[in-house]
């Protein structure tokens, strides 16, 4: 009896709280983005101070560090570092129905879907609509639940019909076992924004999915890649965090799980929670400076959790990847910085065995990307491009999942808009990223004696 009256009451209170929030949260949130100039050995000092004061580091580059804050004051030591200040204005959130009649899901070029960012429920509907339109080439997989109970979805795109027998056969295959006949499809995994605020990464993953399913005559179609590859796309690996950026805090970073009953803060950094070289005592913004004396603070932006795979979202993705056969390509979409990075993240000294092939493919891919709209990307190992960060998805996919061609792509821009990239750039980013994926797929196919 208690449950019968308590659940409706709880749901009613939740709806009331949400409605009250919507009514009081119409004002745009203004913060400040500071770009600190890196000279000599000051990079490590800036990152150390940012970690000590739990500042929100948006980007680390060879020439600068971007730090966002809604506060007017800086730690005294950082005030002495040369920097510029730019106001950041968060655009107001849209309110619209579940399906917009102007969204033509049957065409890539004419649809207006890729002209705007979408909240979580609209993304889920997009995936369902694509599956209905292409029942013979798509499969939606529920990966499991998030910390707050949301379903996670993956979209598999293949021109080989998915029937029950094939699905059971796939599950029985051993991890990493390759098709010895050489005629099976190669697997390619693409993941959207693990960090909730990186909206362009999720928007781009949706564009790529649409491009793979578009008519071959479409100018930006990627459907010919399905002759050799099966693509497995996870557009929203962090549904709880992504939804939170739409309703409460546009620049939220972590997931939203309760890490312990006594925790003062919620969430952990999913991209520090993977089970390869996971370390709880290295702050995510750290270079090679001295480790902090105190345990990592759960309130930190970069809290990696108390153990690897503590995040249910990370665990769900890892379990899903373990069921996929013949994986050869992986792309983690992120923002921002315009970089295509190779393993490793946990060490700047460690070089992957496949470094030569990884680098050759990356150099060609960034060149192909640049031909589309003139956007320039840099390439190197992730650690050298950014900083040392253990527990990264890139390292796990390369070393544990055995995916030889594993990359991280930090999409546009280089700091003008940062995580607030305007909606007008969604489609151009999708087009140039599609060109990059096409080059990588072609290179991988050729290296595996397949013809595209």
pLDDT the model gives residue 165: 36
Can you say how many angstroms the Cα of residue 309 is from the centroid of all Cα atoms in its chain? 17
Q: How many CA atoms lie within 13 A of 72 on its CB side?
A: 0
pLDDT the model gives residue 81: 87
* Distances 174 to 156, 327, 394, 435 between C-alpha atoms, Å: 19, 12, 21, 32
Sheet-wide strand order for 30-37: 56-60, 64-69, 30-37, 83-89
Contact between 419 and 58 under an 8 Å Cβ cutoff? The reply is yes
Q: What is the DSSP letter of 69?
A: E
pLDDT one-digit tens code per residue, 215-273: 999 999 999 999 999 999 999 999 999 999 999 999 999 999 999 888 889 999 999 99
Q: Which residues of the chain have pLDDT under 50?
A: 1-27, 98, 162-181, 283-295
- pTM recorded for the entire structure: 0.86
Q: Can you tell me the distance from the alpha carbon of 254 to that of 308, in angstroms, rounded to the nearest whole number? A: 15
Contact between 302 and 284 under an 8 Å Cβ cutoff? The reply is yes
pLDDT one-digit tens code per residue, 87-132: 876 665 655 554 565 688 888 998 999 999 999 999 999 999 999 9
pLDDT the model gives residue 333: 98
User: In DSSP terms, which residues pair with 86 in a beta bridge?
Assistant: 33
Q: What is the DSSP letter of 292?
A: P
pLDDT the model gives residue 103: 82
Can you say how many angstroms the Cα of residue 200 is from the centroid of all Cα atoms in its chain? 9
Q: Can you tell me the distance from the alpha carbon of 209 to that of 292, in angstroms, rounded to the nearest whole number? A: 42
pLDDT the model gives residue 264: 87
Domains of the chain, each with CATH number or no CATH: 30-89 (3.30.70.1150), 113-244+310-447 (3.40.630.10)
Q: Can you tell me the distance from the alpha carbon of 69 to that of 57, in angstroms, rounded to the nearest whole number? A: 9
Among 126, 130, 150, 152, smallest CA distance to 141 is for 152
Sign of CA dihedral 262, 265, 266, 272: negative
pLDDT the model gives residue 55: 85
For residue 7, count CB atoms less than 10 angstroms from its CB and return exposed for 0-12, middle for 13-18, buried for 19 or more.
exposed
pLDDT the model gives residue 44: 81
């Amino acid at each position: 009896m208690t449950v019968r009256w308590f659940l409706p009451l709880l749901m009613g209170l939740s709806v009331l709280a949400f409605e009250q929030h919507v009514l009081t949260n119409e004002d745009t949130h203004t913060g400040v983005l500071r770009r600190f100039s890196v000279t000599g050995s000051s990079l490590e000092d800036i990152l150390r101070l940012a970690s000590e004061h739990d500042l929100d580091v948006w980007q680390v580059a060879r020439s600068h560090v971007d730090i966002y804050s809604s506060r007017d004051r800086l730690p005294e030591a950082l005030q002495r570092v040369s920097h510029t200040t730019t106001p950041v204005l968060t655009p107001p959130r849209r309110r619209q129905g579940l399906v917009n009649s102007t969204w033509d899901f049957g065409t890539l070029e004419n649809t207006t879907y890729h002209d705007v960012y979408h909240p979580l429920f609209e993304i889920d509907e997009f995936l369902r609509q694509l599956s209905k339109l292409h029942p013979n080439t798509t499969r939606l997989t529920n990966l499991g639940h998030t910390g707050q109970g949301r379903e996670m979805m993956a979209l598999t795109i293949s021109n080989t019909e998915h029937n029950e027998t094939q699905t059971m056969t796939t599950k029985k295959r051993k991890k990493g076992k390759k098709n010895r006949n050489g005629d099976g499809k190669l697997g390619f995994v693409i993941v959207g924004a693990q960090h909730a605020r990186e909206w362009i990464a999720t928007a781009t993953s949706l564009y790529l999915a649409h491009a793979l399913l578009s008519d071959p005559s479409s100018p930006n179609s990627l459907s010919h890649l399905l002759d050799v590859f099966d693509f497995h796309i996870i557009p929203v690996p962090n549904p709880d965090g992504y939804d939170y950026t739409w309703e409460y805090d546009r620049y939220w970073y972590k997931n939203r799980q309760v890490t312990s009953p006594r925790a003062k803060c919620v969430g952990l950094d999913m991209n520090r929670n993977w089970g390869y070289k996971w370390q709880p005592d290295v702050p995510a913004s750290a270079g090679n400076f001295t480790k902090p004396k105190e345990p990592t603070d759960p309130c930190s932006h970069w809290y990696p959790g108390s153990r690897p795979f503590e995040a249910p979202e990370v665990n769900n993705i890892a379990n899903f990847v373990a069921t996929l056969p013949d994986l050869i390509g992986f792309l983690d979409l992120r923002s921002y910085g315009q970089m295509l990075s190779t393993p490793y993240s946990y060490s700047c000294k460690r070089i992957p065995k496949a470094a030569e092939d990884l680098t050759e493919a990356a150099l060609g891919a960034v060149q192909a990307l640049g031909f589309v709209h003139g956007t320039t990307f840099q390439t190197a190992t992730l650690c050298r491009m950014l900083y040392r960060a253990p527990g990264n998805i890139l390292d796990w996919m390369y070393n544990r999942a055995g995916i030889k061609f594993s990359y991280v792509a930090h999409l546009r821009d280089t700091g003008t808009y940062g995580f607030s990239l305007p909606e007008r750039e969604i489609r151009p980013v999708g087009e140039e990223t599609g060109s990059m994926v096409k080059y990588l797929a072609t290179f991988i196919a050729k290296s595996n004696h397949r013809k595209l």
